[in-house]
Structure 1
Amino acid sequence: MSDFPAASGAPTPGTPITPSTATSDYTRRLARLEQAGIKRLLPTQAPYRWNLQRLHLGRVLDIGCGLGRNLLNCGPGSVGVDHNPHSVGTCRERGLNAYTPDGLAGAPDCGPGSFDSLLLAHVLEHVDEETAASLLEQYLPLVKPRGSVVMITPQEVGYRSDATHIRWVGFEELRGHAARAGIAVGRTYSFPLPRPMGKVFPYNEFVLVGRVAA
């Protein structure tokens, strides 16, 4: 179990996603954070871009794509989906292919088995366990058999930095989600720094890489 209590206002099981993450204010907050502090001066996204690209994920379905930070670094034809229509609009303004869930359901070339990989980056900590399981159940069929699944969540300082984080999701919880969804775990690792740095470095991440069952 988590050492971190859920934030106040946590949704009950079945709630789609933390309501505050669906607003225009949340989209504006994400945009401000993109240019905050040292990010204006240095290529701070370079290690995370390299981490995605070295996994050779092919055509990716990016769940909870936000403003498209990761989608920008995914292979040709990759698609993002987000429950925040304002964030989806920003993705499209940036030339990215993104939909709301309803839009994705009717999108061309987004049917069962049409993606090489599924990416869930900084999503699971925003939702309760049952909602997380539902997201995987809903979107995994869109990935090819033996396709890749990548799940990424923040470590301690990053977790505490956002009031919309409601649930601690570390290695144990990631493996639990994988087991429940029938995902074969290939490896788990801390990125970009060793695990202890998550207590002082806000951008350290838990990463799980697995595969969909054949």
Structure 2
Amino acid sequence: MSGTESSDYTQRLARLENAGIKRLLPTQAPYRWNLRRLRLGRVLDVGCGIGRNLLNCGPGSVGVDHNATSVATCRARGLTAYTPDELATAPDCGPGAFDSLLCAHVLEHMDETLGNTILEQYLPLVKPGGSVVLICPQEAGYRTDTTHVRFVDFAGLRAHAEKAGLDVARTYSFPFPRAVGKVFPYNEFNLVARKPRS
């Protein structure tokens, strides 16, 4: 997770949120729609950053992030977010407390072993039969951030899901077909899975 712990990283996320064309057009609308159509219910947003996705999750959703400045930014926006230590003792955040887990633009910031560990750490908080959504940037997006350490494509997402014992329901490229990800920095790999009921 090199470089993502600092307040500078939080400030970078805030700057990018409203940079360029984003000031004029609702560029996040397709991504909000993508989350909402998955009907994720109460979400645990792992690696929530400054809350871009958490803002679009269901009532009672909670973010967790290792960057305390990002967590503070979420709280300033009226969102519920914790550092990992805080989450461990937070009310209504115990085993099976969440309908789903979202891990968006996180796994590319760490090696495979740590990625597996993160999922293993937070999956117990998702109810049996709950959804797990993993999202990573495609090529053009991967190149935009120097804190990215590993390119995670469909095969990489599926490997994480299988290691975690999840049942993969589907994978898809969003918002455009896969080939577009080589030039469009906001194209994403999406994986939707289920936590087994037993």
> Normalising by structure 2, what TM-score?
0.99
One-letter identity of the residue aligned with 2:62: V
- Aligned residue number for residue 43 of structure 1: 26
The correspondence of residues 45-194 of structure 1 with structure 2, limited to 5 A, is 45-194=28-177
Question: Number of matched residues?
Answer: 197
Specify the SS of the correspondent of 1:53: helix
Task: State the 1:117 CA deviation.
Answer: 0.1
User: Counterpart in 2 of 1:203?
Assistant: 186
What SS does structure 1 have at the residue aligned with 2:189? strand
CA–CA distance in structure 2, aligned partners of residues 54 and 23 of structure 1: 33
1:184-207 C-alpha deviation (Å, 9 max, x unpaired): 000000000000000110000000
Distance apart, 1:213 and its partner CA: 1.1
Higher RCO (CA < 8 A, seq sep 6+) = 1
**Which runs of at least 4 in structure 1 moved beyond 4 Å after TM superposition?**
none
SS of equivalent residue, structure 2 residue 95: coil
Report the secondary structure of 1:21's partner residue.
coil
Amino acid in structure 1 at the alignment position of 2:15: R
Q: What is the Cα deviation at residue 55 of structure 1?
A: 0.2
When the two chains are superposed, the root-mean-square deviation of aligned CA atoms in Å is 0.4
- Looking at structure 2, the residues matched to 25 and 210 of structure 1 have their Cα atoms a distance apart, in angstroms, of 33
- Extract unaligned runs of 5+ from structure 2: none
For 2:135 and 2:163, locate their aligned partners in 1 and report how far apart those are by CA, in whole Å: 17
Letter in 1 for 2:19: A
- Give how far 1:57 is off: 0.1
Helix, strand or coil at the partner of 1:22 = coil
Q: Deviations over 1:159-207 (max 9, x none)?
A: 0110000001000011101111001000000000000000110000000
Unaligned runs of 5+ in 1: 1-16
d(CA) in 2 for partners of 1:34 and 1:76? 23
AA partner of residue 128 (structure 1)? D
Write the distance in 1 (CA, Å) between the matches of 2:137 and 2:98.
25
